[in-house]
């Protein structure tokens, strides 16, 4: 089933413009995001082809089946609670039965975790973005040898440097484990290539050092340390960094580069917005979708505020949110029995033959 089929078959219950245009934060470059609610034909709802959600390829048009929509509202999902309070000028279609789903039915203290919790996850994401910007990684991937060192007295030297200085080839080296010494190996060298040593690594793509059979009487020439923890961490960060490079929005990236603050400014704008909404919900019991502080939020998006100042602002709002959560008159969580009753009433009307 497609979004077009939903509309053609008269299954649409609600459709609205969401995102920056609903928040009052749109600019000439902003995309138009759509959200909607639909219901399945009776035979599909009772059958085996339940479809909870339909979206287009870019995910800027997302439509939820009625049951899934209510389920996420019950969990106080921020994106869908906002749909219930979307400004009137953003509503494209609304079935009269949607009036039964009022925001008061769902708003609860769970918003502390769903709105503010999500915002905090975005702050962590912004920190990760900042790290990637400030510390770019070379495309050429490091290997095991880059994390191996030779002990020399009270210090150590990189194994590559040591091999060059000693006029050794890593392929002619042999390693043997040292008992009770994690990551430590005795290193032997096969000058005339008669020992059959396997080298420090078997091939450039290896993820661990190679061990060789050492004959009795062979004399080690050095002790080698392999920092496997640092190597594993590097591999993880390398993978994450180049996946991020491949998937990043280049226009957004260039905007962040231009303002020079080394953080994802659009991400931080929405983080601050979510925290402000959470504070208002817990303090006033109201969800305000359209923002009255457009200039402040767009200044954040433009990179006109320092990252540390934004973190300070976020921390202060979190303190307020924690305080208001303790004094809020909102229900602790939505009343499931009451919500199920309303959902059943809506479905009975829709499926009335």
Interval 219-235: pLDDT, tens: 999 999 999 999 999 99
pLDDT of residue 45: 87
pLDDT of residue 257: 46
Angle ∠(48,49,55) on CA atoms, nearest 5: 155
Mean pLDDT, all residues of the chain: 89
Interval 313-353: pLDDT, tens: 988 999 999 999 999 999 999 999 999 999 999 999 999 85
Per CATH, is 1-106+334-353 categorized as 3.30.460? yes
Interval 239-266: pLDDT, tens: 888 887 776 655 544 444 455 455 677 8
pLDDT at 174 over 70: yes
Query: pLDDT category, 267, cuts 50, 70, 90?
Result: confident
**What residue spans define the domains of the chain?**
1-106+334-353, 113-136+249-329, 144-228
Please give the residue that has the higher pLDDT: either 21 or 261.
Answer: 21
């Amino acid at each position: 089933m497609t979004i077009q089929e939903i509309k053609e078959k008269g299954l649409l219950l609600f459709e609205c413009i969401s995102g920056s245009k609903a928040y009052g934060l749109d600019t000439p470059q902003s995309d138009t995001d759509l959200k909607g609610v639909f219901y399945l034909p009776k035979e599909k709802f009772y059958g085996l082809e339940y479809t909870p959600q339909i979206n287009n390829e870019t995910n800027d048009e997302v439509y939820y089946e009625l049951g899934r929509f209510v389920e996420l509202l019950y969990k106080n999902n921020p994106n869908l609670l906002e749909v219930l309070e979307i400004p009137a000028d953003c509503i494209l279609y609304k079935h009269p039965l949607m009036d039964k789903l009022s925001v008061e039915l769902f708003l609860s203290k769970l918003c502390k975790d769903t709105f503010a919790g999500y915002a905090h996850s975005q702050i962590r994401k912004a920190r990760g973005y900042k790290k990637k910007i400030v510390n770019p990684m070379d495309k050429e991937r490091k290997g095991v040898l880059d994390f191996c060192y030779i002990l020399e007295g009270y210090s150590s030297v990189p194994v590559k440097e040591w091999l060059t200085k000693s006029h050794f080839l890593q392929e002619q080296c042999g390693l043997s484990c040292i008992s009770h010494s994690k990551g430590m190996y005795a290193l032997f060298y096969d000058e005339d290539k008669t020992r059959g040593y396997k080298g420090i690594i078997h091939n450039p793509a290896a993820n661990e050092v190679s061990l060789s059979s050492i004959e009795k009487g062979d004399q080690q020439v050095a002790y080698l340390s392999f920092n496997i923890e640092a190597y594993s961490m590097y591999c993880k960060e390398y993978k994450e960094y180049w996946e991020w490079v491949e998937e990043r929005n280049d226009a957004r990236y260039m905007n962040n580069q231009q303002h020079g603050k080394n953080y994802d400014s659009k991400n931080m704008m929405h983080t601050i917005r979510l925290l402000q909404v959470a504070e208002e919900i817990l303090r006033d019991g109201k969800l305000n979708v359209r923002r009255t502080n457009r200039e402040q939020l767009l200044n954040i998006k433009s990179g006109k505020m320092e990252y540390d100042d934004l973190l300070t602002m976020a921390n202060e709002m979190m303190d307020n949110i924690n305080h208001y959560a303790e004094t809020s008159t909102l229900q602790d969580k939505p009343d499931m029995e009451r919500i199920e009753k309303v959902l059943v009433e809506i479905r009975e009307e829709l499926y009335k033959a």
